[in-house]
Amino acid sequence: MRDYANQITNRAAERDVAITDIRTCVVEGNFEWNLIEIETDAGVTGIGEAYRGGGVPEIVEYTKRFLLGENPLDVERLFRRIVQEMSGHGGTTGKVVTAASGIEIALWDAAGKLLDLPVYQLLGGKFRDEVRIYCDCHAGEAYAVEDGYTDYADAEAYSPEAYAAEARRVVDMGFSALKFDLDMAMDNEPDPFNGRLTNAAIEHKREVVEAVREEIGYDVDLAFDCHWDYTVESAKRLAHELEEFRLMWLEDLVPPENTDAQLEVTRSTRTPIATGENRFRVHELSGLLYQHGVDVATPDPTTVGGLAETVRIADRAEENYIPLSPHNVCSPVGTMACVHLGAAIPNFDVLEYHALEVDWWDDLIERDGPLIRDGYIEVPEAPGIGVELDDDVVAEHVLEGTSGFD
Cis peptide before 301 (omega within 30 of 0): no
* pTM over cut 0.85: yes
- Residue 6's Cβ-side half-sphere holds a number of Cα atoms within 13 Å equal to 17
Reference 44, options 111, 119, 118, 105; nearest CA is: 111
3-state SS track over 266-306: HHCCCCCEEECCCCCCCHHHHHHHHCCCCCEECCCHHHHCC
3-state secondary structure at position 378: strand
Q: Return the axis-axis angle of helices 307-319 and 332-344, rounded to nearest 10°.
A: 40
Q: From CA 126, how far away is CA 272, in angstroms rounded? A: 27
Q: From CA 226, how far away is CA 208, in angstroms rounded? A: 13
**Please, what are the domains in the chain?**
13-116 (3.30.390.10), 122-384 (3.20.20.120)
Residue 323: φ, ψ to 5°: -75, 160
Alpha helix stretches (DSSP H) within 35-155 = 56-67, 75-85, 94-115, 119-122
Evaluate the CA torsion angle 349, 257, 355, 364 in order and state its sign: negative
Burial 2-15, CB ≥16 within 10 A → b, else e: eebeeeeeeeeeee
Q: From CA 106, how far away is CA 100, in angstroms rounded? A: 10
Residue 260 has a pLDDT of: 95
Measure Cα distances from 272 to 8, 67, 210, 292, 319 in Å.
Answer: 47, 42, 17, 11, 18
Q: From CA 44, how far away is CA 50, in angstroms rounded? A: 20
Contact yes or no for 384/109 (Cβ under 8 A): yes
Mean pLDDT split into 10-residue runs, the chain, 406 residues: 87 95 96 97 98 93 97 97 88 90 98 98 98 91 54 76 96 97 92 96 97 98 96 98 98 95 97 96 95 97 98 98 98 98 98 95 93 97 97 93 78
Residue 151 has a pLDDT of: 65
27 forms beta bridges with 33, 398
The counts of H helices and E strands in the chain are 13, 13
- Residue 352's Cβ-side half-sphere holds a number of Cα atoms within 13 Å equal to 28
